[in-house]
Structure 1
Amino acid sequence: MSAQAKHIVGLYRRHAQAWADLRGTVLLERVWLEHFENRMPPPRSVLDIGCGSGDPIGRYLVNQGCAVTGIDSSPELIQIAQRNIPGACWTVSDMRGLELDAKFSGILAWNSMFHLTPDEQRRMFPVFERHACPAAVLMFTSGAYHGCAIGEFQGEALYHASLASDEYHLLLSRHGFEVIERFVQDDHSGQHVIWLARFLASATDRPASNRPPADHPI
């Protein structure tokens, strides 16, 4: 594992308030959250994986009437979410190997899973599968290509990684998800790739082909 990847949780713990202040409350992602929530089956329950401080995404979903469960590895960020957005369930938990006794109609991993190593990302797809109710919608962001990149936050190295598009598509299909849309270099997500997929309740409903859909540039 990359040394920078091992320290990602500690970085967000040390700089939780700075991150929350920088993230702010401006909802640049509204267009994608509307895509997400409009496709959710009732009841509108959302698992926000890597929820951070809850702002602005968690707050938006709560205000839209969704029952939100947010998990994050940083107790400091969860404390901020609990203080500022009491209308949701905010829990300290590591997304890797997450096992909640609940299923959700929407699963969101917005700008969070890409802090995991490639192998850890592969192990997230069983997590998505076991928390998805029939017809649940999954939305997550990734990079455009396979590889790792090291950014910077508060003077510390900030790890990012991505699998190849074909592998994401294969993993989704293997775990019962059908890709609805894939958008690349989206201005509303910091030029990341957005994946929107639906969970198929039975293996017989799964797509026969693992061929990825055409990309949709914004």
Structure 2
Amino acid sequence: MKDPAEAAAEAIIGLYSRHADDWARMRDGPLNADERPHFERYAAALPEGGEVLDLGCGSGRPIAAWLIGRGFRLTGVDASPGLIARCRSAFPEHDWRVADMRGLDLGRRFDGVLAWFSAFHLTAEAQGAMAAVYARHLRPGGVLMFIGGPGRGVAMGTWLGEPLYHASQDPSEYRAGLEQAGLVDIEERFLKAGTDDPARVWTARRSVSD
């Protein structure tokens, strides 16, 4: 019999695809107070009017909407056709793709890459492989931001009565993977400053010498 956590990891795409309407309703609002400082810092590190790749973009709200409102050009990737359909309807002038972020290669580079509350639904091993995905989509000097956890392991939750899978690498593994992929200026911050919330915000930059 398959391990329940392994089964939940494999079911993530189906879960968000089935509940696209629910997810869109839950996130249909502004950036919350904990997210905003990280995105203000991220946006300040990008060139004016820069191009951003949003991996696991969901319905485009609130993250893509916030960035678009500040003049950035978005390319969004999500494995849920229903969520991508909402992005295309709300922001037709931007580029939206139905695809799995694992092994992704769009054949182009961006000023910024995001994986905000998305890559942490992958297994720790798959998250390790994401460093190469991030790096190959960043221009020299481009900025990465993603969410990880506090230490290597699996954290199971529930959403709408179904198992919800999260995992994390150890911080040393995240850092080593990013360094190996050619990323520099690596920083780890608490999502919620001054709390013991497990979510961590990682940022890094592709070396300008690449």
Asked whether the two chains share a fold, i.e. TM above 0.5, the reply is yes
Structure 1 unaligned segments of length 5 or more: list them: 204-218
Say if 1:117 and 1:150 are closer, same or farther in 2 by CA, change over 3 A. same
**What SS class does the counterpart of residue 105 from structure 2 fall into?**
coil
Range 124-133 or range 39-48, more displaced: 39-48
Query: How far apart are 1:10 and its partner, in Å?
Result: 0.2
The residue that corresponds to 1:27 in the other structure is: 31
Aligned to 2:179: 173
Report whether the alignment pairs 1:144 with 2:150.
yes
1:185 positional shift: 4.8
Query: Which of 81-90 and 139-148 deviates more?
Result: 81-90
1:86 Cα deviation after fit = 2.4
1:3 aligns with 2:10: no
Offset from partner CA, 1:66-88 (integer Å, 9 cap, x none): 11000000000001111122232
Corresponding residue to 1:198 among 198, 205, 210: 205
| In structure 2, C-alpha distance between the alignment counterparts of 1:161 and 1:71, rounded to whole Å | 20
8 A Cα contact 2:120 2:147, kept in partner: yes
Match of 1:210 in 2: none
Asked if the contact 1:179–1:195 (Cα under 8 Å) also holds between the matched residues in 2, the reply is no
Out of 93, 96, 104, the residue aligned to residue 90 of structure 1 is: 96
2:69 equivalent among 63, 69, 85: 63
Structure 2 match to 1:207: none
Query: Aligned pairs, how many?
Result: 203
Question: 140, 164, 169: which one pairs with 1:163?
Answer: 169
Any stretches of 5+ residues in structure 2 without a counterpart?
Answer: none
Structure 2 CA distance, aligned partners of 1:123 and 1:181? Answer: 19
Q: Distance between the aligned counterparts of 1:99 and 1:185, measured in 2?
A: 28
Aligned AA (2:56): G
Residues 124 and 167 in structure 2, CA contact (< 8 A), matched pair in contact too: yes
Is the CA contact (8 Å cut-off) linking 1:186 and 1:194 kept in structure 2? no
- Kindly state the Cα deviation for residue 184 of structure 1 after the two structures are TM-superposed: 2.1
Superposed CA RMSD: 1.9
Indicate yes or no: 2:59 matched with 1:53.
yes
Which one of the candidate residues 119, 130, 140 is aligned to 2:136? 130
Q: Secondary structure at the match of 1:51?
A: coil
Secondary structure class of the residue paired with 2:25: helix
Aligned residue type for 2:205: R
User: What CA deviation, in whole Å up to 9, does each residue of 1:1-28 have, x standing for no partner?
Assistant: 8111000000000001001101221211
Q: Which runs of 4+ in 1 moved over 6 A?
A: none
Separation of aligned partners in 2, 1:151 and 1:136: 33
How many angstroms does 1:134 deviate by?
0.6
Percent sequence identity over matched residues?
43
Contact kept in structure 1, 2:49 and 2:71, CA below 8 Å: no
Contact 1:52 1:77 in 2 (8 A): yes
1:212 aligned residue = none
Preserved contact between residue 48 and residue 71 of structure 2 (Cα < 8 Å): no
